[in-house]
Amino acid sequence: MQESMSLLSFRENHVLLDMQMTGRDFAKSRLYQYVDEVGYRALPDEKGDFTFVPWTFSSTEEKDNSIYVQGTCPQPGVSLIEEVDKFLRSGGEETHRFWLKNALVTFNRAADAALGKKLPIGVVGPAQCILCNDGSMLFLPPTLLTRAIESRSKEEYSRLLGCWIHPVLEGACSLRFTQSVCGYFIGTGSLPYDCLDTEKRMEDYRDKNFVPIQYKNPSVSPLLAQSINNYLSVGAGKQNISARLNTDSCAIPGTEIPWEEFEKTDKLFFTNETSVKEYTLKLDKKIDTVRFMRKYSTGIKILTGVLIFFFGTFLFWLWDRQDNYITTGLTDKEVGVALYTGMNNRDLVLAEAVCKGKGAKQLVNIISNFYLSSKIQEGVAGKTTLSFAQLFYFLSDTAEVMPDFFGLSNFCIDGEKVSLDVYPYIRKDNPIPVETSHSEGSYTVTYYMAYTQGEDTIVIEYCTDTVKTEFLKDSWYVTEVVQKKEPVLCDFNTFRKEYSTLLKENNGSVVKTAEKLRETYPWIPREEELILAEKKIQEKFGLMQQ
């Protein structure tokens, strides 16, 4: 038997997977049921596509007090993870680097093809791939392979699997993350998240603690860098493995990494040491701050709770005034638009006024959090929080600090475009109740929600909410909101540069500039939303930013 590594070995035309457990433990773990789990042999054709043939392990054997699962492997070659591991340990030669690039690109193109054909290949990274001498590759069945890796030491687990996957993600999101790790390795010769301690690595995922690929290799194209960096950031902020993100929660999961861009890369593994050092210093400072806040979050939450208490008292005082909002006179859809108008403007009084019961509490809490955050920013740092649409009148590619913003764009009810500019009557207006033939309503609203998170993180989410309303006494109220959010991947710094350049070409016209970019960036506010934002800026600041 020729040893290839402790995980896999080859004997004649068979591949053997070392489970590193006795036959008794294998049986107690009920793993025999997975011996016939399907993997796939990927056969490339002349057009660059792949044909997939089902493949399974065929038997088990016990040797040296460890059980091996084996299967036929026509013309076996090498384990891809073994070659990657050799390179990471030794530094590798130039010829080995380019061989690995070609092997990893082919492996990931085959994975893309499998995703397109909806084949359940699993996501185990390069450890799953055996490169055969006839040009085909074998995707080993995922369950037994994963269990075999988990049976090893923590460090070996991280090298073989842990550093290549994000355990919180599932489906296409999980695959894209793993592919982005492969792409990062191709371009830099290193791993983005290389900590061998799983707990610490999870914290790195949460905080996006990696150096963007373009800093390590400036010759990587902007398109490729954006794709890899964005997918490496999917799941940031998520640390609870029980609260997984499935395929549906990954925005544009069908968007493949542009592997062909590596052909345009001048040099592989070329590092700009100065850029890396500068970015790392900035990143370390940011992460130290974030983790300090997280460590002492209990005290911060207590302080926030005190502020919320006083704010709640103030809110009750407002509610008790005669000029408070009432929903009488509004239709069932108008109260929904009023709710999201309040959300867009961080107007908590308005949002509270149009809701009844606990069903809409989650959305109101979101508004409350952003309202409180903006007030603290104004009071402590003297910063004004802009709406998302207002941001486009202040965007600049030269500003070092991004203005704080929060807001919605492209709001629709049941597919119909609606302007977020609906406000209820106030009590002293004595509005006439609307006539209605039904007492309950339900509709779907869609919109993009965008906001700053920290100093340099921009979050954009596509939201699909189901809104339920009830007619109580003589007025409509929102009684329940079920929200579904999908993260939208975007390199906002790249967008900001494109926007600033085009804005100059259009003589400072925000509306014209937005119109030309909207096809590429569908979350850009609609024309009427930008015009309304301009009006709000004039009312608030008495000026227009040109």
Statement to judge: residues 31 and 114 lie in one domain:
yes
Kindly report the number of other CB atoms within 10 A of residue 10's CB atom. Answer: 19
pLDDT band at 92 (very low <50, low <70, confident <90, very high): low
Statement to judge: residues 500 and 376 lie in one domain:
yes
Question: 98, 133, 153 — which closes off a domain?
Answer: 153
Q: Which regions of 194-334 does DSSP assign to beta strands (E)?
A: 325-326
- Domains in the chain, number: 3
For strands 14-18 and 66-72, give the pairing.
antiparallel
Domain that holds residue 382: 326-541
The predicted model gives 458-464 an average pLDDT of: 89
Closest to 128 (Cα-Cα) out of 76, 63, 163, 82: 82
pLDDT value at residue 242: 39
Statement to judge: residues 72 and 197 lie in one domain:
no
Question: 233, 268, 286 — which closes off a domain?
Answer: 286
- Can you spell out the DSSP letters for 432-477? PPPP-S-SEEEEEEEEEEEEE-SSS-EEEEEEEEEEEEEEETTEEE
* Interval 368-397: pLDDT, tens: 877 777 776 665 555 678 889 999 998 876
Question: 286, 307, 335 — which closes off a domain?
Answer: 286
Identify whether 169 is part of a domain: yes
Of 46-55, 84-93, 265-274, least confident by mean pLDDT is 265-274
* Interval 475-528: pLDDT, tens: 999 999 998 888 887 777 788 889 999 999 999 999 999 999 998 899 999 999
Identify whether 47 is part of a domain: yes
Statement to judge: residues 265 and 340 lie in one domain:
no
Statement to judge: residues 377 and 424 lie in one domain:
yes
Stated pTM of the model: 0.62
Statement to judge: residues 401 and 462 lie in one domain:
yes
Closest to 436 (Cα-Cα) out of 466, 478, 470: 470
Of 90-99, 112-121, 161-170, 284-293, least confident by mean pLDDT is 284-293
For strands 59-63 and 78-79, give the pairing.
unpaired
Strand, coil or helix: 24: helix
For residues 456 and 435, what is the distance between their CA atoms, to the nearest angstrom? 49
Statement to judge: residues 266 and 379 lie in one domain:
no
Query: Has residue 22 got a pLDDT over 90?
Result: no
pLDDT value at residue 10: 86
Mean pLDDT over each residue of the chain, to the nearest integer: 81
Statement to judge: residues 202 and 99 lie in one domain:
no
The predicted model gives 419-430 an average pLDDT of: 86
Identify whether 220 is part of a domain: yes
Provide the token pair at 212: 């963007």
Statement to judge: residues 426 and 484 lie in one domain:
yes
Query: Has residue 322 got a pLDDT over 70?
Result: no
Identify whether 343 is part of a domain: yes
Identify whether 355 is part of a domain: yes
pLDDT band at 298 (very low <50, low <70, confident <90, very high): low
Distances 453 to 59, 96, 290, 417, 490 between C-alpha atoms, Å: 52, 41, 11, 28, 14
Identify whether 528 is part of a domain: yes
The predicted model gives 408-437 an average pLDDT of: 89
Identify whether 485 is part of a domain: yes
Identify whether 54 is part of a domain: yes
Statement to judge: residues 365 and 443 lie in one domain:
yes
Statement to judge: residues 230 and 343 lie in one domain:
no
Q: Give, as one character, the DSSP assignment of residue 384.
A: P
Statement to judge: residues 224 and 351 lie in one domain:
no
For residues 209 and 229, what is the distance between their CA atoms, to the nearest angstrom? 11
